[in-house]
Chains A and B, each alone.
Chain A
Amino acid sequence: MSFPWAQEYKPSHPFMQYLDEKLPLPRFVYNAVGAGYPVPRNLNYFWNFGVLAGFCLVLQIVTGIILAMHYAGDAKLAFASTEHIMRDVNFGWMLRYMHANGASAFFVVIYAHIFRGFYFSSYKAPREMIWLIGVAIFLAMMATAFMGYVLPWGQMSFWGAQVITGLFSAVPLVGESLHTWLLGGFSPDNATLNRFFSLHFLLPFVIAALIILHIWALHIPGSSNPTGVDVKTESDTVPFHPYYTAKDGFGLGVFLIIYTSVVFFAPDQLGHPDNYIPANPLQTPAHIVPEWYFWPFYAILRAFTFDFLFIPAKLMGVLAMFSAILCWFFLPWLDTSPVRSGHYRPLFRKFFWALVVDAAILGYCGGSPAEEPFVMISQLAAMYYFLHFLVILPIVSSIEKPEPLPFSITEAVLGKDDKAVLTPHHAPAPSAA
């Protein structure tokens, strides 16, 4: 499960020796995020985001559990109880702002983490399973965030719930029944709010379990690195502790400065003013928009404005929106280039940056009113989105001529690798060249 040169846990205190014998939890931690886990020495700051994502989850769970102690999951009381938290609960305003902006921070971090994965092809063998679990975590996060946004029961909460649950009515034949069953009624009401509260409380723990699997799967091949070249010798790695605990500590500090600046000085900037109006089923807001982190997918949903080949536009939109994420599951088999890192893939790199721009355009259109020219722009952008993952990536990976890879991580860092001369049989396998 690790490299042969990994340091072994050797407790010196008799109690720790006793504990190691009965319940080797310290050994487990030591091997997972301690000195017992050798990590490539050349990781850049984009490798901080995994730890930051874990931090965000803990932050959300802790603030969320305290908020739940003061929140009333009842359609008649939810909005007022949220204001009660903001006004009368000691530091309730801080907890709620931390939680609401914590969701945004979590998505900023996770998008950086995912795009890191895109650029460095972190999804490729032998790390497919890590990637698949990661996409599942992302889906669970989206569900959790959506249901959490409904809980304050403001106008955007209510109408967001109306629109998103309405998607299920696009399912052929059983759509309407499915919709009513999911909502517990014909439109979002107390039954909906209560089940969303229950699930919003449950899902973070499902995410926590998935993260354990994600890290477990990570520890089998070990972390990838910016060159994409496999770890070969001990000089390619450093122990996780103290090297990456120190680096992650600094990264966490930078993250917290940005995050707390938003929480304390612009806490409502990322939210929508309409959510400070109590839910009113009789008054539709002028523009129903979800939170910013859903905008790209919302733009894809709304891009389908005409029926296509007898498929209703609404159903197409729903299929496309879910496919936009589901296609990530197939990335390990769509991108067949043996080279992992985008550093050595000149053609892929161009399309990667096109995807970054494309996602930003989709996000901007998703946050704008459903009017021209935003709809036409989002149609073109959504077209590129699907072509990128499903058509361009397979083609690029088969026609591209990658640039030469360094022999090893050590060579990439030091300019030479003495071991490489000593052990010529360590020549890179064809699959890695």
Chain B
Amino acid sequence: MVRIFGPLVGLFFAAALFWCFGNGAVQYLTAPAAKTAESLFHKHPHEDFKLASDGVFGRFDRAQLQRGFAVYQQVCSNCHGLKYVSFRDLKDLGYSDPEVKAIAKQWANKAPTLDEKTGDKATRDNLPADHFPAVYYAGQGNPPDLSLITKARHGGAAYVYSLLTGYSDQPAKLLKRFPDAKTPNGLYYNPYFANLNLAMPAPLTSDGQVTYSDGTKATVPQMAKDVSAFLTWTAEPKLEKRKQVGLAVVLYLLAATALAYMAYRNVWAGKKH
């Protein structure tokens, strides 16, 4: 039975697939999918972008994270929240308890409160235990939360860096080939963004826009790189711990497996197999 029905079922599926293949091929040859501006002008993130936290032995560069936090604080936080990160987490970056307390207290975007008895809404200063508050943009949609942005995009930190430094005028070639693809008013051209136009204007525009306390020159690429490093940390504060534990685990397993191999050879010694 199986040897009669089996081949019949097989031939049925093969015929159906051949039918789909033939129809698809005809369609592909007679009406090939038109090229779009996105498919031709979208750029992939810089592949040579490197951070101190990359690689098996990668460690965060604390000074860079602090600079990146300054960029976030002075620029990004006007529109973007970090809802999975709390102020106390900043101690990881090398800030002391009083410093973290001060940063939380002075944070411009205050923590919302609700008086349960009266229903009154108010705000209060942030505390170290609070998460970075969300920013609301009534009517415009909320800008995405940045806590996980380097994990949530192909290319990770390199994508963030490329996007921040990638704003440009629309290439003449694009407009010539796709006259309808002119960047609409209120959007900004950036080839690293999936559909080439995004609502965020270039946030880093001039050197020295952010004040660095460690004397590093705040050029646009420097600020973009620092904030990408900072957002790598917000996406995975446990990255260093992970790599440290990983090294110990893999080294231990290498030794244990060498022993297991010797035990295996020992047990099988003299037994051909």
Contacts and interface: CB of A to CB of B under 8 A. Distances in A.
Interface of A: 41-43, 80, 83, 86-87, 93-94, 97, 238, 242-243, 246-247, 249-250, 252-254, 256-257, 260-261, 263-265, 267-268, 273-274, 276-277, 286, 303-306, 308-309, 311, 313, 316, 320, 323, 327, 330, 333-334, 336, 371-373, 375-376, 379-380, 382-383, 386-387, 389-391, 394, 413-414
Nearest to A277: B152
A289 B54 CA distance: 27
Nearest to B9: A390
B34 interface: no
Contact of A304 (B20, B242, B266, B273): B20
Contacts of A373: 28
Contact of B250 (A43, A260, A394): A260
Contact of A264 (B9, B33, B245, B272): B245
Interface in B140-170: 147-148, 151-154, 156
A253 B153 contact: no
B10 A375 contact: no
In the A-B complex, list the 4 residue pairs whose CB atoms are closest, starting with the nearest.
A264-B246, A390-B10, A253-B257, A276-B152
A243 B156 CA distance: 47
B16 interface: yes
Contact of B18 (A249, A305, A383, A389): A383
8 contacts: A83-B148, A253-B257, A253-B260, A277-B152, A308-B20, A323-B9, A379-B17, A386-B17
A20 to B, nearest CB: 26
Contacts of B271: 41, 238, 243
Contacts of B147: 83
A42 B273 CA distance: 5
Nearest to B4: A394
A268 B151 contact: yes
A246 B17 contact: no
Given A306-B24, A375-B24, A250 B260 contact: yes
Nearest to B156: A273
Contacts of B3: 333-334, 336, 394
Given A243-B267, A380-B21, 15 more contacts: A43-B273, A94-B245, A243-B268, A246-B264, A246-B268, A250-B257, A253-B253, A265-B56, A277-B152, A308-B15, A327-B9, A327-B10, A336-B3, A372-B28, A372-B32
A253 B250 CA distance: 10
Contacts of A243: 267-268, 271
A14 B14 CA distance: 66
Contacts of B23: 305-306
B265 to A, nearest CB: 9
B96 to A, nearest CB: 21
B267 A246 contact: yes
Contacts of B16: 304, 308-309, 311, 316, 320
A413 B272 CA distance: 7
A247 B268 contact: yes
Interface in B246-273: 246-247, 249-250, 253-254, 256-257, 260-261, 263-264, 266-268, 271-273
Interface string B155-197: 0100000000000000000000000000000000000001000
Which label, helix, strand, loop or mixed, suits the secondary structure of the A interface? helix
B250 A261 contact: yes
Contacts of B148: 83, 276-277
B21 A379 contact: yes
A277 B145 CA distance: 9
Given A83-B148, A394-B7, A376 B254 contact: no
Interface in B1-38: 2-3, 6-7, 9-11, 13-21, 23-25, 28, 32-33
Given A372-B28, A386-B10, A41 B194 contact: no
Contact of A250 (B7, B10, B21, B264): B264
A386 B194 contact: no
Nearest to A332: B2
| B19, B245, B254 interface centre (most CB from chain A within 10 Å) | B19
Nearest to B268: A243
B217 interface: no
Nearest to B28: A372
Nearest to A385: B13
A41 B268 CA distance: 10
Contacts of B242: 93-94, 97, 264, 267
Contacts of B25: 376
B170 to A, nearest CB: 22
B101 interface: no
B43 interface: no
Nearest to A330: B2
Contact of B272 (A94, A246, A267, A414): A414
A387 B14 contact: yes
A273 B153 contact: yes
A379 B20 contact: yes
